[in-house]
Chains A and B, each alone.
Chain A
Amino acid sequence: MSFDGFPPFISAQLHYLVNHFAERIKVEQVLSGGKTYAGGLDRFTLLIPYCLDYIKWDIIYNAEFPLAPPDVIFGPEDEDFHPLHMTGSVGEGDLKFQNILSDWNHKDPTRLLALIQELRDRYVAYQKKRVGEVDDDRLKFEISTICSREGIEMQISSGAEKPEEVKFAVPLMDMNINKMVHGCPWRHPQKIYLQVIYPVGKKYASTPSPPRLKLMSTTELRALFSIEDVKLPSWLDGMCMAEYLPHLEESLQKQVVEAVSLIDIRRRFIESLAPLFGRPLEADPVFCRKATFLASSGSFVFLVHLLISTQFPKQQPALMLQSSQHISPQGISKKSPLLSEYPWSPRWETSQMAERIFDFMADESLNFKRFCSESQPQH
């Protein structure tokens, strides 16, 4: 994003924050607090990832008064969050946090990042304390057994309309997926989380209802591994997270390792297409999910796009043809619909897969040529 319109000292700090924060942070609602816009933009809303959701904090600088550190307004549901007056916390951290504000130096671009990181750490502690105060035996047990897990985040949510719930975001598997992918393009570490939502127990209910479970991952991970394809083991009555997680992690770990090994299988498949179609015009070099070849049938020249799912070779690649000679009235070159129904067996050798696709293309190109010229307006 661009940071035009900010005074240089704010722009430098915001830039540094967005580029160096461990997770993807969003900036919204950029406004100016001046009487006119002459002073420049000086207030904005930060969307900070927390517990598989975002918390929205308003950061208020004063363009007229750069020497003062920015002020922060927290969300309406967090009116008890007072990071400057937290009791029973952190000791040494208190001093560090206070120093960020009391020795504020507007010329130092790293300051906003330091402030937000410190505030977020305090927010984690604040939510943990709130969840700990919930009067629910099962939750108390879960927290006592799971708390030592690194990176676990929790949040209590209660609206006027909906019943009280406690949400956990449990990072799964202590493995660095970024390192496993050769030539990894991801800037942020990729992770898989289990979201566990506990309804807070009514005292009179005899058996507590099971928690709602959902696997979630960082968005970029989808290029390698589709979290929707994972089948969660069932939650048995009277189970706790400490029992549930090891099995899930074990099976997930296997699946991720397999997903990484599938990259090579897709690569070999694309390579085996080359003797038949010629060198690909374009191919996804990291995850090998896409490749485009130039093909011709007589004088009819067209492109073949292959879209390869993470389930390859179980699932066959989807094909799409694109003419380089026929252009629709809207000025877009003609494309076929996605073709994913053709003879296929995951047990074939890659060379056989390539041959079968080539044969199918030879037939399909005639259909496609007819489709293109039929719909072409006659001159």
Chain B
Amino acid sequence: MGLGDHKLAVSLPGPTLASMIQRLSSSTADVDGLLFGHVSYIAPSTLPDDPAQASPDSQLLATISGFLCFPSLLSFYDSLGRVDPSRLSSTTPLIGWFSSRRKTPLRPSMREFSVTRSLSSTPSLSLPIQNSDPHSLFAPSIFLLFTTPLQDQFIQTNQYRAFHFQSSRPCFNPLSVDVVNIGPAFRGHYGSFSPTSVLPFLSCELRSLTPMNEDRNEETLIGMKQVEKDQSLLDTCAEGMQVGRLSRLIEATNYSSGLEDLYEKMLLKTESLARLVEASSAKVLEQENHNRKLRYKVARSVGVE
């Protein structure tokens, strides 16, 4: 079954969209970047009686979960719109790209057509479709276009449109974007949510660490080592709050103060992370400003000659 047999829909979490728009509208000029996410196959909800009959409900759902915005143009492609795969890591699940340009028509341009075409025809970039047979692949063929109206508005207005590039014709097909927000209307989306976390699978039982149950520990040496490794990984997440202490929380004594201690440590970790992000963002901004000044110099140099 080819890709063309399925209807494709795009779902985009509200916070991701908001952070994209924030990033694009704060940039000094036109920018573009990559879209990450995953594609899953959604089986038809009703099985047709006649097997020859095509199931109308079968569709692919592409979920955009993240993006990377480049500060200038021609970052992962050249001026002819040819993508350089060596500049793109094949381990990250790339599902497409986006372009943002102010005060232009909401139609793909000559270069955008070329980049999308090149991106979706690079085999090394295809990603497997979830819930489907392991051989079906999805090429990064989603293109998200952001523009602003031609005339200045009193209210800041952003327009966006999603396209799916069809390599066989080749052309852009408009896609409907389902923006997923929090609320009862979107509960269904969270039911099918599958977290992709870096936390390891923990085989250790917390109770095994209490002395009472020591005799029940019949693990081999290798098993114990694995437990120790997992334990230390978990400890880094808890910022010094040993998991063993968690079990003590079950007992009533010191319950609240222990929990407060855990939260405090977690908050501290979050805060230090935020500081790090802040400091590095400041550095990035400084570098971007410097680059801009250099580009400005280049742009003006024509007039001087």
Interface, chain A (partner B; CB < 8 A):
7-9, 12, 29, 31-36, 39, 43, 58, 60, 62-69, 71-74, 76, 79-80, 82-85, 98, 101-102, 104, 106-107
Contacts and interface: CB of A to CB of B under 8 A. Distances in A.
A255 B99 CA distance: 56
A122 to B, nearest CB: 10
Number of chain B interface residues as a range: 35 or more
Contact of B73 (A62, A98, A107): A62
B79 A9 contact: no
A68 B114 contact: no
Contacts of B295: 64-67
A31 B150 contact: yes
B103 A64 contact: no
Given A84-B114, A107-B305, A35 B27 contact: yes
22 contacts: A7-B300, A8-B303, A9-B302, A12-B302, A31-B102, A32-B102, A33-B101, A33-B102, A33-B104, A34-B28, A58-B105, A64-B72, A65-B29, A66-B299, A67-B74, A67-B298, A71-B111, A71-B112, A74-B110, A85-B170, A98-B80, A102-B79
B294 to A, nearest CB: 11
Given A7-B299, A8-B303, A29-B150, A68 B73 contact: yes
Across the A-B interface, the 8 shortest Cβ-Cβ residue pairs: A8-B303, A64-B29, A9-B302, A66-B299, A31-B103, A33-B102, A71-B111, A73-B109
A8 to B, nearest CB: 3
B256 interface: no
B81 A62 contact: no
Nearest to A57: B110
A148 B72 CA distance: 46
Contact of A34 (B29, B113, B302): B29
A58 B104 contact: yes
Nearest to A72: B110
B81 A84 contact: yes
Contacts of A69: 79
A76 B106 CA distance: 10
Nearest to B303: A8
Interface string B111-124: 11110010000000
A29 B149 CA distance: 12
Contacts of A106: 298-299, 302
B298 to A, nearest CB: 6
B117 A85 contact: yes
Nearest to B103: A31
B184 to A, nearest CB: 38
Nearest to B299: A66
Interface of B: 25-30, 72-74, 78-81, 101-105, 107-114, 117, 150, 170-172, 292, 295-296, 298-303, 305
Contacts of B170: 82, 85
Nearest to B292: A64
A58 B299 CA distance: 21
A82 B110 contact: yes
Given A68-B74, A71-B109, A107 B150 contact: no
Contacts of A12: 302
Residue of B103, B170, B292 with most partner-chain A CB within 10 A: B103
A50 to B, nearest CB: 17
Contacts of B296: 39, 64
Given A7-B299, A73-B108, A80-B171, 6 more contacts: A8-B299, A8-B303, A35-B25, A79-B172, A82-B110, A85-B117
Contact of A72 (B73, B109, B171): B109
Contacts of B299: 7-9, 63-64, 66, 106
Nearest to A64: B29
